[in-house]
Amino acid sequence: MSFQAHVSAAKAGVDALSNVLAIEEGPHGVRSNVIAPGPIADTEGMDRLSAKGEVKSNIHGGPAGRMGTVSDIGNATVFLFSDAASYITGQVIAVDGGSWHQQGGGVLPYPQSVLDPASMAHLIKPRL
């Protein structure tokens, strides 16, 4: 997603750290996994990344046909901490309603948002 280089770098670092921890700490009984959330309704991230004035019903969250909820992330977390996931380690678990499979689904028009960011100012929510 354009204008998210800092976030992409941070997320890649977390994924790499989790992989190393899975290898180094696995023999000690430690499992290390990452949850990668997709579009989650009523969160700071979606508030900042969604275009200003966009109607929530228009953001369907990908193939699942809806945006995710905080409970969806919680359920994945409970699963990963349960015995049902005792043989899962070193994985990135996408909890995104399948939106990862629709690569390039940014909220701002591409490449216009990169070529002429000023023309997109009316779509971007101001930061406080």
How does pLDDT run across 48-104, given as a tens digit for each residue? 776 665 544 445 557 888 899 999 999 999 999 999 999 999 999 999 998 887 765
Question: Cα dihedral angle (91, 97, 100, 106), rounded to 10 degrees?
Answer: -140
113, 107, 112: which is closest to 46 by C-alpha? 107
Arithmetic mean of pLDDT, 30-54: 83
Rounded Cα gap, residues 125 and 49, in angstroms: 8
Rounded Cα gap, residues 13 and 113, in angstroms: 26
How many other C-beta atoms can be found within 10 angstroms of the C-beta atom of residue 36?
16
pLDDT at 105 over 60: no
Rounded Cα gap, residues 91 and 113, in angstroms: 33
Fold of 5-123: Rossmann fold (3.40.50)
Q: Give the mean pLDDT of the chain.
A: 84
